[in-house]
Amino acid sequence: MPSSFRNFFLLTHFMEDSTTLKQEKENQELVEAGQPWEEMVTASSQDPESGLSEPPEVEQGPEAGPQTRSSPPGIPQSGASTPVDDLTGPGASTPPSPPQEPSTSLSPLALARQDFMAPWQSNKTTSVISEAGTPPSDHLEQPSDKGESTSHQTCQSEGNTFQLSQQTKCHLYGPRDVSYNNSKEKELRFAISQEKDSNSNYDLDQPESGASEMAPNMLEIAIQNAKAYLLKASSKSGLNLYDHLSEMLTKVLDTRPENPVDIIENISQDVKMAHFSKKLDTLQNENEMLPTYEIAEKQKALFLQGNLEGADQELEDEITEHALPNVMESAFYFEQAGVGLGTDETYRIFLALKQLTDTHPIQKCRFWGKILGLEMNYIVAEVEFREGEDEEEVEEEDVPEERDNGDSEADEADEDELPRSFYKAPQAIPKEESRTGANKYVYFVCNEPGRPWVKLPAVTPAQIVIARKIKKFFTGRLDTPIVSYPPFPGNESNYLRAQIARISAGTHVSPLGFYHFGEEEGEEEEEIEGGRDSFEENPDFEGIQVTDLVESLSNWVHHVQHILPQGRCNWFNPIQKSEEEEEEEEEEDEEKEDEKGEEPDYAEQEVGPPLLTPISEDLEILALMLMAAD
């Protein structure tokens, strides 16, 4: 707000040019008293004395400034009314001779007049109300109507214009000195709307600028009024301007920042904020810091648990070694590549993984990654349970099946009335058994290290198929429904699991030769159909040259099974189950007979690249290689 700037500007000017201002004030007061302008000059000569006595106080503390000016605050508002009467006096007689005043005081004078203007109008209004019938009020009313405009008009003009209209304003301001005290109060609020055209004001005021007898005690009264106003408490915040200004200036003088004039508003705001925080200290702090403490507590538990387990670690050394990889070490390597979560967070994740392995019977555990969500993120751990210790949730699968049965029954009941639909929904492709294909690993997620781990349900082929078609953000809450088209069967936990499966299948690679197929006797025939789905670490792996790894992508192979378009890794033939359908289709469509096939194995078999295929065989999307070696 430029007005606020001006206000502060005025204030500082008041501080610096207090003496000159006082001189002007005195001058104006004398004018107000009706004395000719020349007397103002004489009065001004007297003023330096009073002014001199005041500056020491002023310099001590800016707060003293207003005090000295508003010395006797005794007379209430009604006091202002009397000078109003004086305004009717011969104000026109005052010849404008501002040139006598030093030029430096012109601008402060002008500024002071701005202040005069604003309070003057307020005084005018009050006085108008109190003295309705008096002639001066008539004159007053006119300007009071335009008061806002006039005062603002005069206020608005800059230094130069002030000097130009100085003359006119001399007697304009003269009679208004009574309101000078209020002016200081108002100076901080006035001039929001600033308009030109001081001439009208001038004309109106001339008859009003009276030369009333203004004794010095009027000045004191005015000063007291000003101070009383400054001390008036705000109805909103309980503060008062006087205290606020004093605090602000104290702060400035204490801290002595550079260019305080540029940051004075911020200081003001800070002082105000300091008030509030004192009152609501305990409450605010409690509310705001609670979540921080909660998380810290939980993570402290993480740290503690690690220490407590220290004694048992030696006994279970073997198991723990296999179970938990060296997260910090792998994080180090990732960091070299520019991928990472920061040492802090990685360590916490490590501790959380440790907690996971301690609470669940886990054979192998790996930090899979972090998925960002809208409200919260997911930290994902890939886990392989020990043999025979799986925690299966079979109930989920039964429920949808029952629903399907119920629907079919309803259809049959309406058979007589409604046309029976011939549409038979394709049989839901059953999900793969755990430990195979897409469900080879079990995934746990948590929102933050320290929070409890949640096991994600196994993924069904239908979910993967639809997940391929939609693109949605994760919110961070596992039970959020996924609203999409085509409709996703499940909520966010299912979608998350499906995405994890797709990512794993598409991007988990290892150097060629690191894994190799285990030597299993007598199973080769069966494996041809579905492709080999197990592999072992190659103990003879010697590593490949880094340059080879970088240059050619054929040195990297997928070690996770590819997910077929069907949504599974191992082909499941839906036709296999119902022979009747097969016959019907063969009768209806002879053309497609070959496709449907006589043997289930060849019926629309979806073939995916077998395990351990080099990634150079990956399809090119958008004609760009997605796997870039850096």
Partner 1 sequence: MDAESLLLSLELASGSGQGLSPDRRASLLTSLTLVKRDYRFDRVLFWGRILGLVADYYIAQGLSEDQLAPRKTLYRWRRRPEEMATQTSVVKGRFMGDPSHEYEHTEVQKVNEGEKVFEEEVVVQIKEETRLVSVIDQIDKAVAIVPRGALFKTPFGSINVNRTFEGLSLSEAKKLSSYFHFKEPVELKNKTLLEKADMDPSLDFMDSLEHDIPKGSWSIQMERGNALVVLRSLLWPGLTFYHTPRTKNYGYIYVGTGEKNIDLPFML
Q: Does 293 bind partner 1 (CB under 8 A)?
A: yes
Q: Which of 92, 231, 295, 549 binds partner 1 (CB under 8 A)?
A: 295
Give the C-alpha separation, 330 to 272, whole Å. 51
Residue 457, preceding bond cis, omega within 30 degrees? no
Name the 3-class secondary structure at 481.
strand
Give the C-alpha separation, 626 to 161, whole Å. 71
Give the C-alpha separation, 462 to 438, whole Å. 12
In the complex, what is the shortest distance from the CB of residue 443 to partner 1, in angstroms, rounded to a whole number?
18
C-beta closer to partner 1: residue 90 or 369? 369
Instruction: Assign 3-class secondary structure to 252-303.
Output: HHHHCCCCCCCCHHHHHHHHHHHHHHHHCHHHHHHHHHHHHHHHHHHHHHHH
In the complex, what is the shortest distance from the CB of residue 471 to partner 1, in angstroms, rounded to a whole number?
5
Contact predicate 478/454, CB 8 Å? yes
Q: Does 335 bind partner 1 (CB under 8 A)?
A: yes
In the complex, what is the shortest distance from the CB of residue 359 to partner 1, in angstroms, rounded to a whole number?
22
Q: Does 276 bind partner 1 (CB under 8 A)?
A: no
Residue range at the interface with partner 1 (CB under 8 A); choices 332-340, 508-516, 520-528, 583-591: 332-340
In the complex, what is the shortest distance from the CB of residue 449 to partner 1, in angstroms, rounded to a whole number?
10
How many chain residues touch partner 1 (CB under 8 A)?
Answer: 45
Q: Does 337 bind partner 1 (CB under 8 A)?
A: yes
Tokens 């290689």 sit at which residue?
625
C-beta closer to partner 1: residue 193 or 217? 193
Task: Provide the CA 260 distance to its chain's centre, in angstroms.
Answer: 29
Query: DSSP secondary structure string, 377-394?
Result: -EEEEEEEEPTT------
Tokens 């920061």 sit at which residue?
342
Q: Which of 45, 237, 266, 405 binds partner 1 (CB under 8 A)?
A: 266
- CB-based burial label for 285 (10 Å; 0-12, 13-18, 19+): exposed
In the complex, what is the shortest distance from the CB of residue 289 to partner 1, in angstroms, rounded to a whole number?
7
Residue range at the interface with partner 1 (CB under 8 A); choices 283-291, 360-368, 382-390, 513-521: 283-291
C-beta closer to partner 1: residue 296 or 304? 296
Contact predicate 348/447, CB 8 Å? no
Q: Which of 288, 318, 416, 521 binds partner 1 (CB under 8 A)?
A: 288
In the complex, what is the shortest distance from the CB of residue 612 to partner 1, in angstroms, rounded to a whole number?
25
**Residues in 591-630 that interact with partner 1 by CB under 8 A:** 622, 624-625, 628
Q: Which of 231, 239, 241, 341 binds partner 1 (CB under 8 A)?
A: 341
Q: Does 251 bind partner 1 (CB under 8 A)?
A: no
Tokens 């003359």 sit at which residue?
167
In the complex, what is the shortest distance from the CB of residue 337 to partner 1, in angstroms, rounded to a whole number?
6
Look at residues 178, 190, 169, 191 and name the one whose alpha carbon lies nearest to residue 226.
178
In the complex, what is the shortest distance from the CB of residue 2 to partner 1, in angstroms, rounded to a whole number?
6
Q: Go through 163-173 and write b for each residue having 16 or more CB atoms within 10 A of its CB, e for each that does not.
A: bebbbbbbbbb
Q: List all residues 6 or more positions away from 499 whose beta carbon is below 8 Å from its beta carbon.
A: 371, 467
Q: List all residues 6 or more positions away from 599 whose beta carbon is below 8 Å from its beta carbon.
A: none
**Residues in 483-512 that interact with partner 1 by CB under 8 A:** 484
Residue range at the interface with partner 1 (CB under 8 A); choices 135-143, 173-181, 340-348, 537-545: 340-348
**Residues in 352-381 that interact with partner 1 by CB under 8 A:** 369-370, 372-377
Q: List all residues 6 or more positions away from 128 whose beta carbon is below 8 Å from its beta carbon.
A: 137, 140, 141, 144
In the complex, what is the shortest distance from the CB of residue 287 to partner 1, in angstroms, rounded to a whole number?
8
Q: Does 257 bind partner 1 (CB under 8 A)?
A: yes
**Residues in 104-133 that interact with partner 1 by CB under 8 A:** none
Look at residues 86, 68, 74 and name the one whose alpha carbon lies nearest to residue 28.
86
Binding residues for partner 1 (CB under 8 A): 1-2, 5, 257, 262-263, 265-267, 270, 288-289, 291-296, 335-345, 369-370, 372-377, 471-473, 484, 622, 624-625, 628
